[in-house]
Structure 1
Amino acid sequence: MVCVQTSPSRPYHIVIFGASGFTGQFVVEEVARTVAEGPNGNLKWAIAGRSKQKLEKVLEQAAGVLGKPELMAEVDIIVADVSEPDSLAVMGKQAVVVLNCVGPYRFYGEPVVKACVENGAHHIDISGEPQFLESMQLNYNSTAAESGVYVIGSCGFDSIPADMGVLYTKQQFKGTLTAVESFLTIGTGPDGGSIHDGTWQSAIYGFADSQKLQSLRRKFNHKPLPTIGSKLKRRGSLFYSDEIQQYTVPFMGSDPSVVKRTQRFLVEEHQDTPVQYGAYAGVGGVSSILKLMFAGMMFWFLVKFSFGRSLLVKFPELFSFGVFTKVGPTRKQMEASSFQFALYGEGYTEDQDASHGKPNAKIRTLVQGPECGYVATPIAMVQAALTILNESTVMPSKGGVYSPGAAFAKTTLIERLQKHGIQFSVV
């Protein structure tokens, strides 16, 4: 049962902003499913975006997919636009939690964060953009703390499986966990699969602005985290992984930076032992490598120039060999897709001094789930919101800008995910 009470001035537990976008429409369906579950029957929600007509179509579509015609009458619509701060403020005043689905976040995210912090609404996003995530921490952490507002980024496929997966591995390890490597593999059906090009655009502008990210990080003036045990060795840019039995590359998303932020929080706030982390993704066999190398060379060349970036944005399917498309995957493709995170950890048993000698114990865990972008991501985002609504007493004692692991380390988020198809297990 949702614990937070709504009020006439703040009538909605959840508002989905960007509900008519490609990902937003699936978040709408997931919230509708969740409300139908017994404990969440009193959850009040609304959808928001800049076009009332498009939002009505999304509700109509969700009603048809779920067989719930009552959605059209029960779910309110809020018209709000990132270019109109007053409309965002009105939205922020009406919600307990805003689920922000409008990306790329580097262009559209900050006005929504600002409106939420200034108007008392918690903010959740599904960004995989380190520059956005860390700049929000730099710019809004203090104000959010004063307002008692939680701003929690990357609450989707980037980076719930990785961040919560490391915490789960640490919880299951009998001793002191010091390092984890994760290996992502994606399963698709006979029709293959694709990713909507919003993620592709985020990658384009992220790589183009990589120097700004380094400059941003220097402003935090962080001390290096201590290394306990053997230093985790960096793998090559392409290697054959015995762990997943296929060729593998470093994972290019936000997971490493998000996990590191969580580990820093746990060290500084709870004096925990930090866990080193390396993230990798399987790319398959030799034919996949040839495609990846060609696409990678084209990407690296074009992303350096504004004209090249325009080409990459305009023709995502061409330059990514069909991985990214403007239409995204079909529902049939999504139903046949899945993901698996294999996490390999090492550390010291309880009777071994972690300050001496090499790690003497290992653990392997798995995080598995349905299609990652538009099935698992809405599940993770909605369960993160419910965790805020129900378990704020075991979250950090003050508001602020947090990574998922920092915000939810002491909550039952993992158990909530388990009940909704994202499985955590020890091998």
Structure 2
Amino acid sequence: MAAPVPPGPEVFDVVIFGASGFTGKYVIREALKFLPPNSSPLRTLALAGRSRDRVAAALRWAAAPGPAPDVPILFADASDPASLAAVAARARVLLSCAGPFRLHGRQVAAACAEAGADCLDISGEPEFMERVEADLHEVAARNGSLIVSACGFDSIPAELGFLFNSRQWKPPSAPLSVVAYVNLESDRKIVGNFGTFQSAVLGVANASELQALRRSRPRPAKPKIPGPAPPKGSLIEHDKALGLWVVKLPSADTVVVKRTLAKVTEHPEGLPGVDETSEFVDRRKEFWSSIKPAHFGVKIGTRSILGLVRWLYTGLFIGILGGFSLGRSLLLKFPEFFSLGLCRKTGPTEEEVNSASFKLWFVGHGYSDLARASERGTKPDMEMVTRVSGPEIGYITTPIVLVQCALVLLSQRANLPKGGVYTPGVVFGPTDLQKRLEENGMSFELISTRTLP
């Protein structure tokens, strides 16, 4: 059963905020695996939310079929700054699971930045992520708070997958472009949560704010890529090698990877840790020296062209109706209709979650000899294909990724930057996060290398 909060300012290794939400309860279930007697660095856990009863119910669900463990429940409301400050003061690492993050996430991140607590969230919302960086980086750096967004399926599989592909290009070879092809698979219907749909609608509604924010900030450093971006191609394409019909996906993954490459352009050896071991210094420098910048994009793929219809239909309606108030009201009132069942307010069933999986194919095109890239008329002559695979994206992979990021923070904090707002790749790239994910149900594979005609 849920335990009463003990008196005194006990600091917990991890606090899960938004614990009663649809994703939050899956994060609780994943975190419970690593509490004692497990030998992980997670020794103490607390849950936070507005309703004690709902959080307690989520804990019981997560612990089933066994009894719920004694886990303290803290009151926290995104509209109550004092409650957020109190919770942040009692967290080493706060896992922020309450979306849409545009509405609820900044207040949580701000409380952590002020308290010096580390904060990981599962946002896939570029405007939120970039605004948090603009508003909170300095105070987070000053107070020793690491704030890292996109620590779920958005965008760690894509980021680590891109970095994994990049590391396969051994000198003198180098990539020009890498395209990630997302393929979601299931024996049943693929269904997303309403919060994801709501975030996409709000993203369209506030696209102008993101552009204004970017114009107001200094331009990020431009990575040195050996050639221009490849042509955009057709709206719908068929990749024979992968057996997929694909369409370009407006994705946070693209934004996050570009931000990581910009930061590493400024800091070619990565960011030093607050008190690094000499072994990790060598590891960090070696890791970033092996990363080669490239143009990056994401496409969604299905085995049949009819499989793309739901994605095109959903994107069309969000793009058209998301730009004005009445349209947004219709979208949010009838998400299942406007997504052809891709999203529904009740979320997926447990059977739908357990039957789903994903594959992320990374197809890199580049040069077998970087020195030839500058020659006039030289085309890419080498292809590198890698793949990241794992279970269902929203409620199995996302909790796995988020909890493993927290365990890295708990066990290796001295090797990581003192504080600031960064992308996952910048913080976790040189760590053992990829190995941890491979030990918890994900795979990273080199599929093929070939010479292009």
SS of the aligned residue for 1:109 comes to helix
Instruction: Supply the distance in 2 between the matched residues of 1:206 and 1:36 (Cα, whole angstroms).
Output: 40
Instruction: Supply the distance in 2 between the matched residues of 1:331 and 1:46 (Cα, whole angstroms).
Output: 25
Give the percent of matched residue pairs that are identical in Structure 1 and Structure 2. 37
Instruction: Supply the distance in 2 between the matched residues of 1:133 and 1:162 (Cα, whole angstroms).
Output: 16
SS of the aligned residue for 1:127 comes to coil
SS of the aligned residue for 1:347 comes to strand
Shift of 1:250: 1.2
2:55 maps to what in 1? 55
Work out whether 1:206 is the aligned partner of 2:203.
yes
2:89 maps to what in 1? 93
Task: Write out per-residue CA displacement over residues 212-271 of structure 1, whole angstroms, 9 at most, x where no aligned residue.
Answer: 111111222215624422323223332222343222111222000000001111111116
Task: Indicate conservation of the 8 Å contact 2:200/2:318, yes or no.
Answer: no
Match of 1:260 among 239, 258, 261: 258
Shift of 1:352: 4.5
Work out whether 1:168 is the aligned partner of 2:164.
yes
SS of the aligned residue for 1:38 comes to coil
- Aligned positions of 1:35-114 closer than 5 A: 35=35, 38-40=38-40, 43-65=43-65, 67=66, 69=67, 71=69, 73=70, 75-114=71-110
Distance 1:28 1:261, change over 3 A: same
**What is the identity, as a one-letter code, of the residue corresponding to 1:300?**
G
Match of 1:340 among 359, 364, 368: 359
Instruction: Supply the distance in 2 between the matched residues of 1:36 and 1:338 (Cα, whole angstroms).
Output: 29
Instruction: Supply the distance in 2 between the matched residues of 1:402 and 1:38 (Cα, whole angstroms).
Output: 30
2:136 maps to what in 1? 140
SS of the aligned residue for 1:318 comes to helix
Task: Indicate conservation of the 8 Å contact 1:12/1:46, yes or no.
Answer: yes
**What is the identity, as a one-letter code, of the residue corresponding to 2:362?**
L
More divergent stretch after superposition (367-376 vs 271-280): 271-280
Instruction: Supply the distance in 1 between the matched residues of 2:257 and 2:370 (Cα, whole angstroms).
Output: 27
1:3 maps to what in 2? none
Shift of 1:145: 0.8
Work out whether 1:392 is the aligned partner of 2:413.
yes
Task: Write out per-residue CA displacement over residues 275-299 of structure 1, whole angstroms, 9 at most, x where no aligned residue.
Answer: 2211111144233344444444333
Task: Write out per-residue CA displacement over residues 172-199 of structure 1, whole angstroms, 9 at most, x where no aligned residue.
Answer: 321234421110100011x313001100
- Aligned positions of 1:284-363 closer than 5 A: 284-349=303-368, 352=371, 355-356=374-375, 357-363=378-384
Distance 1:178 1:40, change over 3 A: same
- Runs of 5+ in structure 1 lacking a partner? 1-7
SS of the aligned residue for 1:288 comes to helix
More divergent stretch after superposition (34-43 vs 368-377): 34-43
- Aligned positions of 1:262-277 closer than 5 A: 262-270=260-268, 273-277=292-296
More divergent stretch after superposition (96-105 vs 285-294): 285-294
More divergent stretch after superposition (133-142 vs 350-359): 350-359
**What is the identity, as a one-letter code, of the residue corresponding to 2:393?**
C
Work out whether 1:401 is the aligned partner of 2:421.
yes
Q: How many residues end up aligned between the 2 structures?
A: 414
Instruction: Supply the distance in 1 between the matched residues of 2:297 and 2:327 (Cα, whole angstroms).
Output: 31
**What is the identity, as a one-letter code, of the residue corresponding to 1:327?**
T
Match of 1:193 among 190, 195, 206: 190
2:286 maps to what in 1? none
**TM-score, normalization by structure 2:** 0.87
Task: Indicate conservation of the 8 Å contact 2:123/2:154, yes or no.
Answer: yes
Instruction: Supply the distance in 2 between the matched residues of 1:84 and 1:348 (Cα, whole angstroms).
Output: 54
Task: Write out per-residue CA displacement over residues 354-401 of structure 1, whole angstroms, 9 at most, x where no aligned residue.
Answer: 5555444331111000000100000000001111111223323x3110
SS of the aligned residue for 2:16 comes to strand
Distance 1:301 1:96, change over 3 A: same
Match of 2:440 among 413, 420, 425: 420
State the Cα RMSD in Å: 2.0
More divergent stretch after superposition (141-150 vs 356-365): 356-365
**What is the identity, as a one-letter code, of the residue corresponding to 1:145?**
A
**TM-score, normalization by structure 1:** 0.92
1:245 maps to what in 2? 243
SS of the aligned residue for 2:200 comes to helix
- Aligned positions of 1:370-389 closer than 5 A: 370-389=391-410
Task: Indicate conservation of the 8 Å contact 1:10/1:93, yes or no.
Answer: no
Instruction: Supply the distance in 1 between the matched residues of 2:306 and 2:407 (Cα, whole angstroms).
Output: 43
Work out whether 1:120 is the aligned partner of 2:116.
yes
**What is the identity, as a one-letter code, of the residue corresponding to 1:361?**
M
